[in-house]
Amino acid sequence: MALRSRRIDITEQSRPVLARHAKLKFDESRQAWVILVPEKVLAPDEIAVEILQLCDGVRNVDQIIDVLAAKYAADRAMIGADVIAMLRDLADKGFLAEAQDTKP
Amino acid sequence: MSPTLTDASGAHADPTDGLSVLEQRKSQAATFGIPLAVLAELTHRCPLQCPYCSNPLELERNNAELTTGEWKRVLSELAEIGVLQIHFSGGEPTARKDLAELIRHATDVGLYTNLITSAVLLTKEKLIALVDAGLCHIQISFQGSEQGIADRVAGLKDAHAKKIEAAGWARELGLPLTVNAVMHRQNLSQLPDIIQMAVDLDADRLEVANVQYYGWALKNRAALMPTMEQIEQTSGIVEEAEGRLKGILAIDYVVPDYYALRPKKCMGGWGRQFFNISPSGKILPCHAAETITGLVFESVRDHPIAWIWQNSEAFNRYRGTGWMPQPCQSCEFREVDYGGCRCQAFALTGNAANTDPACALSPLHEQIFKTATIESAGDTRLFIYRNFAGGTLETDVHGT
């Protein structure tokens, strides 16, 4: 049979959101952000958290990069590469879904 | 900027020790080292009778189990002290009629819920109810790649077919799926087919776990112990599949202790990043800890969980490195593996404080290697099935 992957691809047009089974949460007891996934806990740094909070199902990756480039007055190409790399990493692990996939 | 995502682990017995990443952040939970994930054995009742069951030989009875109200209080308490994930396990956790209610409560208090199940009691409606209650992930155990050996190991007719069906429902409902396959001499030849089965079931992850020999498995060791040749082949099969299935199926491989050179970092170190709650509410450093006689385990019925975690004599006895004898005490790996597994040390040497004989530096290492070689070449085939009666020898229908 053909091997298929249900990992989504990330482009500037993607509108990624965390999958139902990947939960971004502020852990009050440790005063730290965490991403809860099957049988694992990920510890995102501040910028990773900010990117994921911008993944609201409305903005696409292009717009997310715009927001961050404006906020940090930084080189757009560099920020863009970082954002896409991080989102691809999460997508490859199956923790992201396309916004339209999750809405009826 | 370069955002990073660090793996802080949290899975039980995960060999990577990312907990330190979160511990560095100096919080209240970190001060007490509260585990990120906890295993809740809701019941020891189970329709399966696997001869390598990780439950103790002395199974806890129905009437000793925590009530729904008690489990809810425990779940709230866990969330409060900083536990992030709960693994509902057993026995068979779906044998509890209140499972959906408990998952709902766990979700409400902010816990991430995993279900570790044999899946044979599930119906599609039941699974939908669990997902609606907030279930995030399901792990289904398989005993083989086809019903012949699988149903025989499980000691339950049609178990394999039911598992396949339930795995299909899980994926239909969008639930991430882990296939857990416990491997031993009598099913290792099916490993390539099991890997393909996991792909066909659209699983995210496959655990290829060689049997670990405590409790029921120790009783059945002669019927289960793989041969050295099988283990060599297995490593090759797993390696090849990992490369071929990258991005499609993650494979976690647990090697068998008896053929290892270095001991495993069991539970990430005793009382270091994990605990287990028994059906009656006892807090244990691992699911097999009760095989060690002479240790007293406190109950959630008598003490706050955080108090037990910090003060339990059973937890503190083998914490850190201070308790270690030689050769562990002066070993450069003492904080790499924390001396291996206490339960195995007890099972094989009669003293839980001894070096785990899985370690090549243990004076008993040669001996267990010999035991494994002899038992794996023997003709013991029949299982002693796990049950509340203390075990029942398999009826020899095939004639060995």
What is the pLDDT at residue B28? 46
Report pLDDT digits (tens) over A45-65.
999 999 999 999 999 999 999
- Tell whether the model's pLDDT for residue A104 goes beyond 60: no
Left, alpha or beta for B128 (phi > 0: left; psi -120 to 50: alpha)? Answer: alpha
- Tell whether the model's pLDDT for residue A88 goes beyond 50: yes
Which of B27, B175, B247 is facing A31, going by the closest CB pair? Answer: B27
The answer to whether A86 contacts B247, with C-beta atoms less than 8 Å apart, is: no
Tokens matching residue B59: 């199974």
Exposed/middle/buried for A45, CB within 10 Å: 0-12, 13-18, 19+? middle
What is the pLDDT at residue B254? 85
Closest chain A C-alpha to B6 CA, distance in angstroms: 5
Q: Is B305 on the interface with A (CB under 8 A)?
A: no
How many residues comprise chain B?
A: 400
Tell me which chain B residues have a C-beta less than 8 angstroms from the C-beta of A71. none
d(CA B143, CA B152): 9
Exposed/middle/buried for B322, CB within 10 Å: 0-12, 13-18, 19+? exposed
Determine the 3-state secondary structure of B259 from DSSP: helix
- Among candidate residues B206, B262, B210, the one with its CA nearest the CA of residue B232: B210
Its pTM stands at 0.91
- Tell whether the model's pLDDT for residue A3 goes beyond 50: no
Mean pLDDT for chain A overall: 87
Within 195-224 of B, beta carbons closer than 8 Å to A belong to 199-200, 202, 204-205
Q: Which residues of chain B have pLDDT under 50?
A: 10-28, 400
What number of helices (H) and strands (E) belong to chain A?
A: 4, 5
Q: Is B87 on the interface with A (CB under 8 A)?
A: yes
